[in-house]
Chain A
Amino acid sequence: MESRFPYNHIQPFQNWKKAVSLVDNNRIDPHGETRFRFDRQTKFVSAGSCFAQRIAESLQDYGFRYLVVEPGPPWLAVQQRLDYSYGVYSARYGNIYTTLHLLQLLQRAAGELTPVDEYWMGKDGSFVDPFRPSIQPGGFANLNELLTDRRQHLASVTQLLGEMDVFVFTLGLTETWVSALDGAAFPACPGKQFGDYSPERYAFRNLTLDENVEYFERFLAMLHELNPRAKVLLTVSPVPLAATAENQHVLQSTTYSKAVLRVLAQEMRRRHDNVEYFASYEIVTATYNAETYFQADKRNVTPAAVDHVMWSFFRNFTDEDPDQMTKIDRSQDTSGPLTVKVCEEEQLLALINANL
């Protein structure tokens, strides 16, 4: 009877002592058996919160095939391409922090949603895309440029999702600002650098687990129509909230948000065979490396943390030995990101703290 005891035959990764206690902190690998194996022919696409930029960057650093459908004009210098968000992600959608924003991106691309907020005015008279306010330094010169670029962008998104093999999405936030008129979700609150805030026009929402599940289910359904063979790899951003609009401590808002998103990821994995969870959140936050994995602001992660994350990724999702892998020189590359772009969340923090 003793042999039927459920814990008798657990694998090492199920055993805290073997998987955590006896392992060097920077070699803790919180994965069991994973559903997917990728290779260098796999066509990756990524999106999500700021942390997703790191994943996109690392995939390219190690020579994996990262699809970029909006590479930008070839004459731009590397830094300028970055400033204009060309190649920061697979398409020029900027950061997508919430499941609602992700769903609405597909709905807008499919022509199912035409938000009332067509544009926001920048403080300098420029035109800002409310759904990707950080992609264009100084904003667009005129509305026509914005609308033309948006049409092109949304068409690129459709093309991208149809061509890819795997969609890596980093779940970032549950808090969001939406239009009170039509529910369109924005990655940033209007009123400071762009747009005019009014409580009649814009509303704060903190998405519940049920809402997140609903939105992501609808996203998966739309994605399936575009690309039935697409796999989805979910991660949860380990980066805490820059600020919360809830009347509570920002740390409580952070743990709520991450908990909801972590459960969402687990639930999606449980429901769908083409969805897998990659435990970057656990690697950064739960391997007892807080001092070396977070920067002095206790929020942004360090390169060491990203290295650990990607080491684990390659170890669990490819057949390659991550200890033998070397980065390629991409200093002359004009097709992908080289460094991390500033996030709306960072900008929000800067705006708030500028008044302190």
Chain B
Amino acid sequence: MSTIALKAEPQSASAELEHIPQPIPIYMLGESHCVVFTDRIFRETRYLDETFITRALYLPGISSHDFSDNNLQRVWSVLAAEHLIVGDPRGRAATWVPFHVSRSPLLIPSVHNKKPRGVPIIVVFAGEIALRSLFLKQLGQNDFDLPFPVEGLDALPMPEGYAHVQFNLVLQLANQILSPLLNGLMTLYNVGFTSLYVHSIPPPTLSDEEFEKINGFFSPVRLRYKAALLFNRIFRDLASQTNIRFLDIWDEVTIHNALNPEFHIDGTHLNVRAAYITLQKLITSAICDPRPAVAPRYQFADEEARSWFAEGGKDHPYDPRFTQAGLTEIDVGAETTAIMRAQLDFTLDTGNRHVRLDWSGSGPTGSDEGVFTAEPTTAWLGRLYDLMYSGPVSHLIHGCLQADYAIISARPLSYRGAIGATLESDGCPQGVLHCALVLKNGTALEYAPVEGAATKLPLQAGQVVVFDGNRLRYRWLAGSEIVDMVLLARHKRLERCVIWPGMNLWPVDPFNFSMRDFVGYSPSGSFFRLIEDGAPWWLTI
């Protein structure tokens, strides 16, 4: 027996790691059409300068009926694996809650990637299997006319020997097949996945032979196209009736409504070039389209903040005018206001140039109403802090809010041109207050109860108006200059602070929101307490 002498390994130099900031994930969920999106990393440079990664949550063979409430388990499971939802921690019956609406103040994924947990973008790919395996099969030897014109459809050969069925009966079949999917999408939306997209059905192959080979049955090309167009119309209608969005790339991948051969890959799926089109449209929509505020975490934070304030035993009587009319005011003097006004340069339009996916707010397009803003300095915000958290104003706001408060948005606004034709409510989470410091004489607020006549309120520099933008409809009239403020009931994790949030309104997450690109002031220099003083660690992280 011979032995082999082991040579001494040369000592390796340590690998060098370059840590790249974690990209923002986007979840592509459903049929095999999502697979092309597996781990695609890209950077959006026009608005956000952020890196994204698409995660493909492929559920083989998933069909419409898998989205029914009884069968949604497959979807829940894959979302749980991505830390997008959490079950009942005490092990009760499955009650899935999205992380971003859970009442947990801190979320491990959120803390670890140092990003606030906003609403994840989910794109659902579903309905195409149902179209092929159910709809076309059940349609059998029946043809139908679409009730809307489709350019190029006449160029496809007319099915021979097919009976004609009225569209409403065909629509009924389509709705029967798609209703579990549509209901499932609504379930996902209603539990809190409010950045939810449903992707268009891709144009089918133009080859009858290819279709039959793949699917094992014959369906004429014209019928296949009409079916796909019908399904996409149903998705579009769903989007028009709900806040679920329809991500439609049909026009981009077809020529005269027939599959552009440049996107053909296997007779069922589209190629990666089509995926890039999807991403282009998706990100544009995600940035530019308005999103609803995510209320559950606000509401929980609001409840805790009020409870915490009440436990403090402070005497803060209700402000009677605010209680009755939803609006009250106080004069803090024109002198301080004049100094603050002089330090502002209203040169920025109110386009949301710092749009971030972790904040809700208006889109990146500049206002066409002649509304301008100015970027304040930290020192300016400090002056505002002193004013807004001082005795008389503080007393007034406590009387309105019945809680301590944090000014999580303070934006100087100058209304120079035309103003909105209608009065609008804020639609912000319950408990959020609106407040304005008037910077200029001649400012005027027009407001009205949700149902009732409008009142014009002339205001002078130095007045502070506090109002409930959910109870009132309002608009600032031309010539007004104000510091527009959004106030939250201050949770104990939030410091008293004043934040200029760029062009945004308020953060998605009241516990934990990114300050990047913002300007803020707090006496302590910090804005959040990540771990509650004296709390066991397992209650906080």
Contacts and interface: CB of A to CB of B under 8 A. Distances in A.
B145 A145 contact: yes
B169 A84 contact: yes
Given A144-B145, A145-B145, A148-B145, A75 B176 contact: yes
Contacts of B145: 144-145, 148
A140 B140 contact: no
Contacts of A74: 138, 140
B107 interface: no
B173 A75 contact: yes
A73 B165 contact: yes
Q: Is chain A's interface secondary structure helix, strand, loop, or mixed overall?
A: loop
B166 interface: yes
Nearest to B134: A75
A158 to B, nearest CB: 15
A73 B143 CA distance: 10
A179 to B, nearest CB: 25
Contacts of B169: 72-73, 76, 84
A255 interface: no
**Residue from B140, B142, B166, B167 with most neighbouring chain A CB atoms (10 Å):** B166
B173 A141 contact: no
B162 to A, nearest CB: 10
B377 to A, nearest CB: 64
Interface in A140-176: 140-142, 144-145, 148-149, 152
Contacts of A152: 163-164
Contacts of B168: 138, 141
Given A74-B138, A148-B145, A136 B166 contact: yes
Interface string A295-324: 000000000000000000000000000000
Contacts of B140: 73-74
A141 B164 contact: no
Contacts of B138: 74-75
A206 B138 CA distance: 46
Nearest to A146: B166
A279 B70 CA distance: 57
Contacts of A76: 169
A138 B167 CA distance: 13
Nearest to B147: A141
B147 A148 contact: no
Most buried by B among A76, A145, A149: A145
Contacts of B170: 73
B166 A141 contact: yes
B167 A145 contact: yes
A248 B364 CA distance: 79
A296 to B, nearest CB: 35
Interface residues of B, number: 17
Interface in A42-58: none
Interface string B274-305: 00000000000000000000000000000000
Interface string A60-78: 0000000000101111100
Contacts, number: 36
Nearest to A150: B164
Contacts of A84: 169
A149 B167 contact: no
Interface string A70-108: 101111100000001000000000000000000000000
A322 B145 CA distance: 47
Interface string B138-173: 111010010100000000000000011111111011
A276 B195 CA distance: 72
Interface in A113-151: 136, 138, 140-142, 144-145, 148-149
Contacts of B139: 73
A151 to B, nearest CB: 8
B147 A142 contact: yes
Given A84-B169, A141-B147, A73 B142 contact: yes
B369 to A, nearest CB: 40
A149 B164 contact: yes
A73 B167 CA distance: 11
A152 B147 CA distance: 18
A142 B142 CA distance: 19
Interface string B245-263: 0000000000000000000
A140 B142 CA distance: 17
A148 B164 contact: yes
Q: Of B164, B165, B170, which is in contact with the most chain A CB atoms at under 10 Å from its CB? A: B165
Contacts of A136: 166
Q: Give the interface centre of B147, B163, B167, B176 by most chain A CB atoms within 10 Å.
A: B163
A194 to B, nearest CB: 17
A228 B164 CA distance: 30
B132 to A, nearest CB: 16
A72 B164 CA distance: 9
A262 B140 CA distance: 44
A242 B142 CA distance: 38
B173 A73 contact: yes
Contacts of B173: 73, 75
A155 to B, nearest CB: 10
Contacts of A144: 145
A334 to B, nearest CB: 12
Nearest to B170: A73
Contacts of B166: 136, 140-141, 145, 149
A138 B176 CA distance: 20
A75 B170 CA distance: 9
A136 B166 CA distance: 9
Interface string B168-197: 111011001000000000000000000000
A148 B176 CA distance: 25
A152 B165 CA distance: 10
A140 B164 CA distance: 13
A295 B280 CA distance: 69
12 contacts: A72-B169, A73-B142, A73-B169, A76-B169, A141-B147, A141-B167, A141-B168, A142-B147, A145-B167, A148-B164, A149-B166, A152-B163
Given A72-B165, A142-B147, A145-B145, 10 more contacts: A70-B163, A73-B173, A75-B173, A140-B166, A141-B147, A141-B167, A144-B145, A145-B167, A149-B166, A152-B164
Interface of B: 138-140, 142, 145, 147, 163-170, 172-173, 176
Interface of A: 70, 72-76, 84, 136, 138, 140-142, 144-145, 148-149, 152
7 A-B pairs with least C-beta separation: A75-B173, A148-B164, A75-B138, A152-B164, A73-B165, A145-B166, A73-B142
